[in-house]
Amino acid sequence: MTMKIKKKDVAQALGFFLLRLCLGLVLFILILFLYDIIRKGAGSLTWEFLTKPPRRGMSEGGIFPAIMGTFLVTIVTALLAVPLGIAAAIYLNEYARKSRLTRLIRLSLRNLSGVPSIVFGLFGVILFVNILKFGTSILSAGLTLGLLTLPWTVTASEEALKNVPNSFREGALALGATKWQSIRTNVLPYALPGMLTGTILGLARAAGETAPIMFTGAAFYLPFLPRSLKDQFMALPYHLYIMATQHHAIETVRPLAYGTALVLIMLVLGMNMAAVIIRHRLRRKSRM
């Protein structure tokens, strides 16, 4: 009897050790990634690198146009994906009844989030660049990324709406408010911070995407800033791709590529971090 128990305990210890090993491996890879990029990228991170355009066929100089390009395209993305996402989420959580249409919307939503990003790129080329004649531009790329981000913003906004207690809605309705009045005054204000969290996470992912913007507006090399929405632009992720694989002197521009990767990581993870902090604060608030 005692032998049996012992065997079981050994199996458990071994099993749990294996599980810890899995987690350790994942953490190790993540830390290795971040460590390598920070160690080798920090050297190129100068003021000039952040504020000057590339020079000499991108083998010297900075990445300012790429930073600005990513910033601008993300704004276009947000302008499309955030209001639309929130509106669709309001429909799904506040208005929709259990119907075939609702099921279809949800199904489309989940499937849309699984569509490969390069397919979104192809779609952007056909719809925005060719049919709507926006050309390869910030507008086309931003709208393409907006559609890519849409399922994430809808899901996140709906999650935030779900977390608003039903008594908030009922309270307003009982006082004679209409449905929209109750949503506007009693639901949205409480859901907004949560929506913000999810939206930031979605936009951070969009800012790091490369495949959808490759053919819809990102430029290989532009030493100046775009002047209008119809201009091409440089973007951080695409710039990193160029510096890592397409440059004529890849080995000599490695430090610049590392620097670009570091800035991109800092941008994306910074946005992630902000979202996580907001969520953490919210949770603590709701616990009290």
Can residue 158 be called a binding residue for another protein (CB under 8 A)? Answer: no
Query: Could you give the C-alpha distances from 19 to 5, 29, 111, 254, in angstroms and in order?
Result: 21, 16, 31, 37
Nearer to another protein, 133 or 227 (CB): 133
Number of residues that bind another protein (CB under 8 A): 84
User: Which 219-258 positions form the footprint of another protein (CB under 8 A)?
Assistant: 237-238, 240-241, 244-245, 254, 257
Torsion of CA 133, 138, 144, 149, to 10 degrees: -160
Which of residues 76, 143, 219, 268 is near another protein by CB under 8 A? 268
Q: Which H or E run contains 107? A: helix 100-112
Q: What b/e string do you get for 113-135 counting C-beta neighbours within 10 Å, with b at 16 or more?
A: eeeebeebbebbbebbbeeeebe
Which candidate, 163, 238, 237, 236, places its Cα nearest to that of 198? 163
User: Which 132-151 positions form the footprint of another protein (CB under 8 A)?
Assistant: 147, 150-151
Given a contact cutoff of 8 angstroms between Cβ atoms, the answer to whether 196 and 276 are in contact is no
Which of residues 209, 217, 226, 256 is near another protein by CB under 8 A? 209
User: Which 42-81 positions form the footprint of another protein (CB under 8 A)?
Assistant: none
User: Which 168-197 positions form the footprint of another protein (CB under 8 A)?
Assistant: 178-180
CB of 206 to another protein, least distance (A): 10
Which of residues 16, 51, 75, 170 is near another protein by CB under 8 A? 16
Nearer to another protein, 130 or 227 (CB): 130
Nearer to another protein, 125 or 228 (CB): 125
